Amino acid sequence: MPNQKFDLIKSEFIKYLDSCGLSPKSHKNYRSDLSHFTGWLILKVRSFGAFIESLTEAIPFIGTGTATEYKKYMIENKFPAKTINRRLSTLRHLSRYLLSSQNVEMDFMEDIENISGANKAKTSVIPLISEFRSYLESEKISKNTIKNYLSDINQFMTWIESNNQINSSKLPN
């Protein structure tokens, strides 16, 4: 961003990362990930008609769907799974920092999980999985139980996908 004004939140978050005992390479990656997220967020907020130039100005626009949208954006644009997961890790640190510094009142990374390398094949069943999650929530099932059920379903879908690839390679021409 040209003429980017001083960004207090970004500066303070980098100081926070210094205190986390990260390796120099991890620290560099987290700063890069933060810059990527900040750029995406600024463009997102500007698309709503608000002219902002920094992460500090974007904080009021961060909500529960922000991380979900960012994750979806990276998946749709075919970022490598490792990059997506590292960026999600950066955002978990950012969310913890923002909570501890009282810049936000909620953990915007709550329930945002890493992706697996087989995530692309699962997109067709995601609506069904979302419906199942809603059903479990309506039945007042604990968050941990829901998380475990969904993890089991994802592992099963990965197994089906790998089995289908093995079996389809054995089919006669």
Residues 83 and 121 in one domain: no
Residues 35 and 98 in one domain: yes
pLDDT digits (tens, 9 = 90+) for 56-110: 899 899 987 899 999 999 998 888 899 999 999 999 999 899 988 888 888 889 8
Residues 125 and 42 in one domain: no
* Alpha-carbon gap, residue 125 to 127, rounded angstroms: 6
pLDDT digits (tens, 9 = 90+) for 53-70: 999 899 899 987 899 999
Residues 86 and 108 in one domain: yes
Residue 102 is predicted with a pLDDT of 87
Q: In degrees, to the nearest 5, what angle opens at C-alpha 125 toward C-alphas 92 and 82?
A: 35
Q: Regarding predicted confidence, which is higher, 156 or 165?
A: 156
Strands, DSSP E only, in 13-134?
none
Give the residue from 129, 120, 124 showing the smallest Cα distance to 151: 129
pLDDT digits (tens, 9 = 90+) for 126-155: 678 888 888 888 999 888 888 888 888 877
Residue 149 is predicted with a pLDDT of 86
Contact between 145 and 136 under an 8 Å Cβ cutoff? The reply is yes
What is the domain-level CATH number for residue 31?
A: 1.10.150.130
* Alpha-carbon gap, residue 146 to 97, rounded angstroms: 27
- DSSP secondary structure letter of residue 18: H
- Residue 2 in domain: no
